[in-house]
Structure 1
Amino acid sequence: MTHKKVGVKQRTSYSLEEKLIVVKYTQENGRNAAAKHFNLDAPMKKRSGTPGRKAFYPEAEKILYSWIIEQRKKRFAVNYISIKLQMCKILKESSIQAIYSAGEYEFQGNLSWINFFMKRFGLSLRKRTKISQKLPEDLEEKLNEFRRYIIRLRTLYNFDLNSIFNMDETPV
């Protein structure tokens, strides 16, 4: 006795010609009409829209995005905590509460929300990679002092000029 598997569909492969017919029909009649006409499953339909989850507070997120861009223009650091706090502040504004009445109470602002928000708006957290050193005020004096020191060492130990070189980085 053999058992038939319930709910399992056999995958079908389509030729290039068949795919072109479906694409043409889709361009003329729309994706949903083509799916219905050719009896295509949902997974075969192309997913559209922005990546990640749908926004629960799209208007508030637009304001938050503008705030982040403004902070970056001012060269201020923006991190996960500041994004969450700013969103909470936005959701308390009367104009936003008129749209999302319980928004400030329902909003959790967890890490996954922040990641999906960043993905929706094409943002990434930036990190300062290098903070350059400030030159001392008496730079010229220190350079001249160093030159005199090298000349004294060279004459004292009779170093050959080929034995002296400059190294910018500390070797490890």
Structure 2
Amino acid sequence: MAGRNLGLSGSKTRQVNQQLRQSYDANFKMMVVNAAEATNNCQAARKYGVTECNVRRWRIQKDRLKNANSKRKAFRGPQRGRFQEIDRRVCEFVTEKRNEGLPITRAIIQLKALNIAKELNIPTTEFKASTGWCIRMMRRSGLALRRRTSLAQHLPSDFAEKLQSFQRYVIGLRKKHSYTLDQIGNADQTPVFFDMPTSVTVHKKGEKSVIVKSTGNEKNRITVMLACLADGTKLAPYVILKRKTVPKEPMPAGIIVRAQEKGWMESDLVVDWLKVVWGTRCGALRKKEKHADYGCVPWTPD
């Protein structure tokens, strides 16, 4: 009985120890490391309720913790891949292209890996350059997808009230004049840039400067007037080139091209758009006397 009780007691003790065992994420470990560097290992261990051996181990792993995801709790998994030569050559390729400022995506890495595997006579049945392999290879090599950030545009505090007011206004006009869906449209101008470099690229973790080269035409643009009707019909795009005259070369079918010295949608072009796009749509001549004109404001870039 004593032995049985002792066994039960030991089992309960092991269960308690397993329940007390905790895992900590990288953010918590870095807090402990910073506290240990400011004071010492013992004080940091007492302050955060961890053992001193953990503090010593985390200080050794400081560089890896700094570059790891803040929610990561362990560095498990193989440190070397099965195809080490492919990993090495892919990393060299990424480093070379990033030094040139060119963006690199996961798809580019996978295609490059397949080409290298073909050069090394590795059959596709053994190496497929899957997305999972790409993610693990990037993790082993200290690579990650990096994104350029910009300030977000904030909506006004009373936008919900203004939206409801506009909806009531449109519904009231439709009831008053009996507008059909093909007589209600939404139009807006938008700039289209000749070069829109990607904002995401594979790059080394921890580096603050992420440079992406472009063709130099990211500021050159055209203006396009897009419109659709309430019934889902899309009207022809109205393209405004930044030049004095329209090119003599034939343009693609289905679009209307105009020229303006600054590439803006000015008042004369708005009138022209009403004639050649809005006025020629299907159903434009029906109930012409009930059409409403809400006015148009020329668009100019900020």
TM-score between both structures, scaled by the size of structure 1 = 0.44
Task: Name the structure where strand makes up a greater proportion of residues.
Answer: 2
TM-score between both structures, scaled by the size of structure 2 = 0.29
Task: Name the structure where helix makes up a greater proportion of residues.
Answer: 1
Work out which structure has the larger RCO, using CA pairs closer than 8 Å and 6 or more positions apart in sequence.
Answer: 1
